Each structure stands twice: as structure tokens, then as C-alpha cells.
Structure 1
Amino acid sequence: MASRRRLLSRVAAAVGISSLAGCTGSEPSLDLPPNPRADSLPALQHDWVGGMRTDEHGNPLLPRFHRVLMLDATAPIDDALRERVERACRALEAAYDWSSADLLHTWAWGTGYFEKQGSLGRAPIRRPRVLSRTDDPDLRSFDAALVLASDTESHLTATEAALFGDRDTLGGAPVEAPLGDLFDRRRRVTGFMGEGLPAAHADAEGIPEGAPLDGAPGFMGFRSGRVRTQASLDRVTKSGGRWDGGTTMHLSHLTFSLDGWYAMDMPDRVARMFSPDVTPEEAETYDTDVPFADAVREHARDYGVVGHTEKMARARENGEPILLRRDFNTVDGGRAGLHFLSYQRSLADFETARDAMNGWWLRDDHPSITDRQNNGLLNFVTVRSRANFYVPPRARRATP
């Protein structure tokens, strides 16, 4: 906890002035007074911890509804546009409390932004890459993204309408900084997280009739996001230099094919989610962590199947996770899936985690294990798209 306080103090001091050198050598200077709510908001945009509910074990619970707007600028990316972005974000902070009950939001800049600045080669992000021999995702580039989340779905709709539509008030105040004339909404992704919500969407393509989703927080029937399976804010936040206090954000769209998943009995599903030496009864006892024995190769040889969690554990650094996940279920396109949104200090961390998930180095340990078969969750998941973004600290969100 002390290290987190030191991080937030350092970031707040480093970014207290919004006129900072841009990555092209220019110095964007916003002609705006200080953010009047800066002292009551976390210095890091990706710090949602204080605004989220927790379960009985202290695990943070993501908001129930999510929306991410991917944007391309239709006007020059200059100080006037940056000022409008900052004013728009401040309007959200004025209209809603920083909480799951009201609204949590994050403004991110994409690879398209840095390309237009002529600085992608010096940026903290790069264009996405194909990371699997078994997937052929659409590799996307956007100028920016606005991440919105709330337990009240109408707040997301009102926010989007106020910034990009025809709504002229938000939280009872006039909308003085809409963004619809400056950005095109290239793509909108939506989703949800929480018990009861997957069951309400059980008619989506990719889910067999009768799938046991009652009470399940996700389409695969298991909960995630235990506090000790998530990277800390310190671990995913950049320290020192031009990007101090920022982080990278990756957004993937995954779709599910769950006929085979739910054709298996619970022990077989547990084996592929966790490990073949874990029983369903043991899995039910996991509260803040998922223990692992670091024996995935032995399990491959002994059982001919390996679990997703035990593979991912090999991507930990000094026993600690390297990704902070904010992923959520979706039925975008009419098919059950997941929008995998993660924060990490560098995109190399995400690629390390994905390499662990691939598990192709296990194929020589047992003939039953292939690129997808008996290899964790790979046989049930397809990656449809990828995009990368940079998330500045709050005081520099409009001037990365």
C-alpha cells in the first residue's frame, strides 16, 4: 500500500503542469485552469480500484456494463482539439461520481494518433501483431479510445449521446465540449460482467442450448479477476521519463465456440480452465488467488491436457502477474465472446502472456496436446481483432 501511495504522489507531482513536451518535440499548452476535481480523483486514469465494489473476499468487482468507443480525428490534432478532449473528460467528472455506481472512464490515445504526429517509432505503443498461428485477427489502428463503465447502463448511453450525439445536458449541466465534430466513432464495443448477465444473453450464437449459466459471471461459467491474479498498479505503470505515470492498453475481441466446452463434464472443464490435478470442489474454494504448482509440463505428460491458468502462471514475474485485466463479456455481432482489455507496463508484457497462453512448447510432451486441442482454452476461443493504445496519467490525458 505504501508503494502505491509513493507512486501516486510521484505521478501527481510529475504531471501537475499540463503544458509538457509532446513526443514530437512540440509543447502542447492547454489554455485551461487546473482541473477543479483533480485532488479528489486518482492521478492514474487506469486506477479504478477505489471506485469499484468488492466481494466478500476483497476482490474488486468490475462495473456491470461496459462500452469502448474507438475514435478517429476528423480535425487537426492540435491544441484546440486537445483542449476539447480535456474539457469533455472534465464534464464527465462533473456529471458523475468516480464510482461503479455512477461512471468510471479512461481516455487513451491509439497508434493512429502517434502516426499522425510522426512519432510512432518513439511512442510507448506499436501497431498490433498476429500472436498465434491459429488466429488471423483484424489488426486495427485508431486515433483514440474512450473507455466507459458503470453499474447503470443508461449512464453509458447518456455519456455517448452527450459527447457524440444530440443530448445537450449531462448531470443537469449543459454539454459545452462535445466531440462529435472532432472525432468519428469508428467502432463501438459493448459488454457486461456480473452474475445473471451471461444467462440473460444465453441465446447468443456460440452458446449451446441449456448451458448452465445461471449465476455464472462469464460465458465459460467461471469467475476471474481475483485480486492476486491481477498485476498491481505499480507493476503496470511506467516509471520515469517521458511516459511516467502512463500505461499501455491492449484491446482484443475474442469469440467463443462453446458446444464442445459444455459437452464436457465439470471435471474436464476445470482441468482446462485451471489444471488437470484440480477438482471442481477445490476450484470452488479459490477466493483471492488461484494456487499453482508450476508443473505444467509434468501435467502434460501425465494427463495429456493442461489448464489455462497454470500456463498463464508461467508468465508471472517474481511470482506476480504482469497484466491488469479489465475484460468483459460481449454479444457484439450476435456471438458470445469477450473483449479482453488489459493494462501492462509495455506491450512486450502482453505478448509474453499470450505466448504462455499459446502453450505450443507442450505439444512434444504428449500426442493429445496440439496447437488447440487439450491446450487450455484455445480450442474454444478465436481472436477476431486487436488494437493498442497508450493511457496517459489524468493530468496529461489530452497532451500525451
Structure 2
Amino acid sequence: MTSRRSALARLGAVAGTLGLSGCAQFLGSASSSGTDLPPNPHADALPNRQFVQNPYLRTDDAGNDMQARYRRLLFLTLDVEPSASAARTVERGMRTIEAAYDWRAEGLFHVLAWGTDYFRRIGELGAAPISKPQVISRTDNPDLLEFDAVLILESDVPSQLTAVENAMFRSGGPLNGEPVDHPLGDVFRIAEIRTGFLGEGLPARHADVEGIPAGALSQDDPTFMGFFSDRQGTQASEEFVTIDSDRFAGGTTLHVSHLTQNLDTWWEGLDDAGRVARMFSPEFDPSDIPDFADDVPFSDAVRDHARQFDVVGHHEKVAQVRRDGEPIILRRDFNTTDGDHAGVHFLSFQRKLKHFRATRRAMNGWYVRDDSQAITDRENNGILNFIDVQSRANFYVPPRDKRAFPLY
């Protein structure tokens, strides 16, 4: 840890010597979120958009980003009223996390986002780019949750997620050698914790839970449903999902859902062709899938497929809402065994929440019901027959330099 702390100390010294010019492109102002703190000494090593990871990730042979393998979501409730003092505590706590770990998958990615309860608390919910979550499908009755904030932690090293949680909300530190003088627990309490994972080998290692038949998964499967879902061409860019004007510029919106999966029929009632048809499109054969490198080459013929095959695919449905051929949401979903049941924590970043809602409505596939009697709200309708939405929540992700009590 000595080299990490020394590097950060040098960054702080350089910023002071250059009169902040060395970090202006990242964090801009001398203070952060109105806290009157000195400039963030880690600015030169960090993107100002909290959700930016792609330039820091490894890629596979096809150029697809390989996301961090372990995740933890800490949903938070404020224990104090918003104030400049509380904002300083939050900003100092977040800077401690930044000092402890490098911004990369082997270190730690982290996002502090603010929920509808917070904006209601400060009287700004009507002005915020987020609103209370909604029921979007006819077959789900999710809990519509509201929180003050959420802290998202991602790393290839699961012990680092536990270390941050303990240092910031339980023991008070230290954190990877960094003293924790301003724990986030002085301002927040944890209302709920969600955990999960993503990547080859991990689903099979966690398959002894309800919802997955024994022996279904191999060590090559990156998800509980068996398919790699993070091809670059199926994801919006980090630039596209960034809010580009008004008080919220440089931030984005975040939707978080918890979905449970029931995969007995997926693995034991369908063959490879049936799974490919429902995940991608019935126009594809299982032998086509290995050739999908960084995108999925849809023919944009969902209704034709419904009439011809009596089944439509998940990916071909959501592709209906692309803009100029580009996706409109950036997914960072991952598998979970929370509640001892197979599931997905679905995280999506988008410039406007209506982009998420449009994507989910396309996924519902209501528009193909008249094209085939075999397709219902769930049956033969992509992957809808295998998932149930348990909860939804919405958040705003401010820029790093405004992450402590935005708008307060």
C-alpha cells in the first residue's frame, strides 16, 4: 500500500503546485459539492463521471469489456439531516475509498447515487431527473422501493467489497492501510444489502440454490442462463447515457431491479435451439452463437418471427428501441443468490429513465400477441417465462465533484 499512498501524495502536491490546473479537466472547481474542502487529491487518476469504467477494463479477443466479477449494493438511509457538515463527511469518506484502491477491476469501482427519498427530503423531487419507480409489465407486481442513496461496489477481489462495507459502516477502519476518520456510517445506515457475481465459473460455483436444476451449468457459463450478455454492440456508450445539460449535466440516471429466475424449464424443458430462440431470435441456430463477437446481427423481423416460428427472442425485442442502430441503455447486471434463489440484480444507466421504461416495454412483447396465439405475456415471449421482478428503485448518479448531497 506504500506505493499507492505515495503516488496519491504526489498527485496532491502536483495539484497544489499547478494551482489546480492539473486536475481541472477532471474535477473543475476548487471545492466539492459546496463542502469547501480542498480539491480532490485523486482527481488526476479518476474520471469525473462516476459510472465510467470502460477505459479501465480488460477486454476479450473481440473487444468486449470484461466487467468486475463481484458486486455489492449498499442501499442507504440518511441518519442525519442534509448539511454542509454531513456533505463534508460523505466526501471525505469517498476520498478515503479512492485512496485505498485503484480505479480498476483488480482494485475497486464505486458509485454513490442518490434516490427518490433524498430528493423528496430536500424538496427537489419534482426537479430531479428521476421519479418513483413504476410497474411496467402486466405479469409482475414488484415492490416499488425508495431510498436516500445507494453505494455500488465492484471488484475482482470479493474481500475488498467486504472491507469497504466494514470500514465505512461497521468498524470504522482502517481500509487497506488508509485511516477511516470520516466513515460513511456517520451519515448513513445500511437499509439493505445485495450481492452478486458475473463471469465464467462463478454461476456454476453458486448453482446450489432454488431455481437452478442440478448439473445444469458448466464452468464455461458466464451467467445462470448460459449466455454472455455484454457484447459491446448491445450496450449504450458511457457518453450516450450522460446527461448533457442543466443542473444534472455530467451525471446519469440509474435503475435497479431485483429479478428472480426459475430455470428448471429453461435447462430441462428446452433444447439448445429453444434457448437460442428465446434469448436471441428463432432466426439463429445454436451453431451461430460462437460467431457473435461484439454484436448480435438481428434482421429486425420480430413480428415475422412470431408468425413463422410462434416464438420471439429477448434480444431482438429490446433491439426495437435502438436509436440510429445504437442501444439506449448501459447495462451492468449480474447474477445473485440473494434469498437462496437464483436471480439477477439488473442495473442500467441511461440519460433519461424513459429510455429504461421504453426498453422494458419492448421486452414485454405485447405488440406480437396478435401475430401468434402461441405467444402470451410470458410463454414463447423471450425470457419472460423464466424471470419475476421482485423490486424496482431509481437513482441519480451525480458527477464525482458533486456527489455529496447534490442540489442541497
TM-score of Structure 1 vs Structure 2, range by shorter chain: over 0.9
Contact 1:138 1:384 (C-alpha < 8 Å) held by counterparts = yes
Q: Which residue of 2 aligns with 1:213?
A: 218
Q: Which residue of 2 aligns with 1:273?
A: 279
**Aligned to 2:321, what secondary structure does the other structure show?**
coil
Structure 1: runs of 5 or more not aligned: 1-10, 21-27
User: 1:174-193 counterparts in 2 under 5 A?
Assistant: 174-193=179-198
Going from structure 1 to structure 2, the CA distance change for 1:15 and 1:92 (only over 3 Å counts) comes to: closer
Following TM superposition, the consecutive aligned residue runs of length 4 or more in structure 1 with deviations greater than 4 angstroms are 11-15
Q: CA deviation at 1:399?
A: 4.0
Question: Which digits, 9 at most, give the CA deviation of each residue in 1:323-379, with x for residues without a partner?
Answer: 111111000000000000010001000000001000011110010000000000000
Q: CA deviation at 1:233?
A: 1.3
User: 1:355-394 counterparts in 2 under 5 A?
Assistant: 355-394=361-400
Q: Which residue of 2 aligns with 1:17?
A: 29
Contact 2:30 2:38 (C-alpha < 8 Å) held by counterparts = no
Aligned residue among 302, 306, 311 for 2:308? 302
Q: CA deviation at 1:18?
A: 6.5
- The count of residues paired between Structure 1 and Structure 2 equals 383
Aligned residue among 315, 323, 326 for 2:329? 323
Contact 2:311 2:380 (C-alpha < 8 Å) held by counterparts = yes
Q: Which residue of 2 aligns with 1:8?
A: none
Q: CA deviation at 1:64?
A: 0.7
Structure 2: runs of 5 or more not aligned: 1-22
Contact 1:18 1:395 (C-alpha < 8 Å) held by counterparts = no
Code of the aligned partner of 1:296? V
**Aligned to 2:48, what secondary structure does the other structure show?**
coil
Q: Which residue of 1 aligns with 2:36?
A: 31
Going from structure 1 to structure 2, the CA distance change for 1:12 and 1:270 (only over 3 Å counts) comes to: farther
Code of the aligned partner of 2:162? T
Q: Which residue of 2 aligns with 1:100?
A: 105
**Aligned to 1:189, what secondary structure does the other structure show?**
strand
Determine if the alignment matches structure 1 residue 58 to structure 2 residue 96: no
Q: Which residue of 2 aligns with 1:288?
A: 294
CA distance in 1, matches of 2:169, 2:78: 13
Going from structure 1 to structure 2, the CA distance change for 1:18 and 1:184 (only over 3 Å counts) comes to: farther
CA distance in 1, matches of 2:56, 2:191: 29
Determine if the alignment matches structure 1 residue 113 to structure 2 residue 118: yes
Q: How much is the aligned-residue C-alpha RMSD, in angstroms? A: 1.4
Contact 1:18 1:399 (C-alpha < 8 Å) held by counterparts = no
Q: CA deviation at 1:15?
A: 5.7
Question: Which digits, 9 at most, give the CA deviation of each residue in 1:206-258, with x for residues without a partner?
Answer: 00122133310000000111111110112100002111100000000001010
Contact 1:162 1:178 (C-alpha < 8 Å) held by counterparts = yes
Contact 1:95 1:173 (C-alpha < 8 Å) held by counterparts = yes
Going from structure 1 to structure 2, the CA distance change for 1:317 and 1:363 (only over 3 Å counts) comes to: same
Determine if the alignment matches structure 1 residue 82 to structure 2 residue 87: yes
Q: CA deviation at 1:127?
A: 0.6
Code of the aligned partner of 1:243? F
Aligned residue among 161, 171, 186 for 2:166? 161
Structure 1 length-normalised TM: 0.93
Q: CA deviation at 1:119?
A: 1.0
Aligned residue among 321, 336, 359 for 1:353? 359
CA distance in 2, matches of 1:210, 1:15: 50
Percent of matched pairs sharing the same residue: 54
